[in-house]
Structures are given as structure tokens and as C-alpha cells.
């Protein structure tokens, strides 16, 4: 605040001052408190430390013969971009939401050429510190859910 120029404080209208005060107060409160009132935000980008052991979720399509293939998210429309995140929240969803998500992903995969009838969701543990060349050493995958035809089966122990 070093470059103060000639001031005319009384000439800036009171409503302008109030507008600036309210806007900056909201901006600062959200920033300090980590509050999300988008587009006001808590700026929590990458703020939580990542750990060596990463637990993620992976979805596979299953065809009529029971063969698995990765959910082709790369080929699916942009509107499916958030699917990978949502699959990770499967455990916290209500049954109806899980079924709806599962149906939407199966339909989306089939629209780009997959012949899926159901979906399998795996819990994947990756230890980033153990490398095999440019990739992590084999991740540990455990089948957690199978869903399709309006049914969700939890296989978690």
C-alpha cells in the first residue's frame, strides 16, 4: 500500500465503498474459513497432503460373457468427466444414487461402443513409493461393488 496518490475520499460514493467492503469481506471470510460459496471459494487446491499409499477406485464394464474392460472414460463425452470422482464416492452414496450412477455409466459406455451389461467397481491401493520403471508397482485391487439392471451388490468385507 505504498503508492498512495492524492486522495479524495469523500468523493467516492458511499454505496461504492459499501459494495467494495461487502465484496472484500465475503472474499476474505471465505478464504480464511475455507468456505465454498462459488465463485467465492476457500482456495483449498491440493491443500491436503498426499500420502505414499493412495486409495482410489476404478470402474470396469462387464459384458454378457462376464468379460471385463476398463470404463472407456477417455472416449465418453465430456459430461462424464466427473464420473471418476463420483465412483470414488460410491461408498457414501444412497442405494438409489448408486443405481442411477451405475445405469448412467453403463449407458454412456455403450454409447461409445462398449457392450456392457453391468459395472464392477474396484478399490485400488497404490503405493507410489514402490515403482516399476515409470509406473507404480502392481496396485492391489479388490472388487467392492457390482451393479447393473437396477441392482447394486456390495462385496466389501
Partner 1 sequence: MRRVERWIFSSGSAERLAAVRIGLCSVLAVRLSRTVYVHLAGQPRALYRPLSFMKFFSAMPPRLPVLIVQVIGVAAAAAAAFGWRTRATLPLAWAAGVFLNGMTTSQGKVVHNDVLLLLCLVPLLVAATADVWSLDARAGRTQRGEAFRYGWPVNTAMIVVAGAYFFAGFAKLVNSGPGWVTGGNMRWILYAASDARPVPNGLALFVADRAWLAHIVAGCSMLMELTFPVVLFSKRARPLYVAAAAVFHIGIWLTIGLDYWPQAMAAGIVLIDWTAVVARVRLARARPAISPG
Question: Which residues are CB-contacts of 48 (< 8 A; sequence separation ≥ 6)?
Answer: none
The count of chain residues that interact with partner 1, using the rule CB under 8 A, is 65
Name which of 115 and 128 has its Cβ closer to partner 1. Answer: 128
The piece of 26-34, 61-69, 112-120, 143-151 that touches partner 1 (CB under 8 A) is 26-34
Q: What x/- string results for residues 54 through 93 when contact with partner 1 is judged by CB under 8 A?
A: x-------------------x--xxxxxxx-xx--x----
Segment 148-151 long-range contacts (CB within 8 Å, at least 24 positions apart): 148/62, 148/102, 148/103, 148/106, 148/116, 148/117, 148/118, 148/119, 149/117, 149/118, 150/99, 150/103, 151/99
Pick from 148, 105, 142: nearest CA to 126? 142
Binding site for partner 1 (CB under 8 A): 1-9, 11-12, 16-17, 19-20, 23-24, 27-28, 31-32, 34, 36-52, 54, 74, 77-83, 85-86, 89, 97, 100-101, 103-104, 107-108, 126, 128-129, 131, 134-136
Amino acid at each position: 500500500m505504498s503508492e498512495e496518490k492524492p486522495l479524495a475520499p469523500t468523493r467516492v460514493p458511499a454505496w461504492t465503498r459499501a459494495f467494495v467492503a461487502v465484496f472484500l469481506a465475503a472474499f476474505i471470510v471465505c478464504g480464511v474459513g475455507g468456505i465454498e460459496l462459488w465463485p467465492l471459494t476457500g482456495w483449498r487446491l491440493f491443500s491436503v497432503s498426499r500420502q505414499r499409499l493412495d486409495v482410489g477406485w476404478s470402474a470396469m464394464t462387464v459384458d454378457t460373457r462376464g468379460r471385463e474392460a476398463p470404463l472407456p472414460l477417455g472416449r465418453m463425452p465430456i459430461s462424464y468427466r466427473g464420473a471418476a470422482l463420483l465412483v470414488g464416492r460410491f461408498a457414501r452414496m444412497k442405494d438409489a444414487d448408486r443405481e442411477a450412477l451405475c445405469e448412467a455409466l453403463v449407458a454412456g459406455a455403450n454409447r461409445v461402443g462398449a457392450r456392457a451389461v453391468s459395472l464392477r467397481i474396484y478399490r485400488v491401493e497404490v503405493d507410489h513409493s514402490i515403482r516399476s520403471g515409470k509406473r507404480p508397482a502392481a496396485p492391489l485391487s479388490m472388487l467392492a461393488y457390482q451393479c447393473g439392471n437396477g441392482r447394486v451388490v456390495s462385496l466389501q468385507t
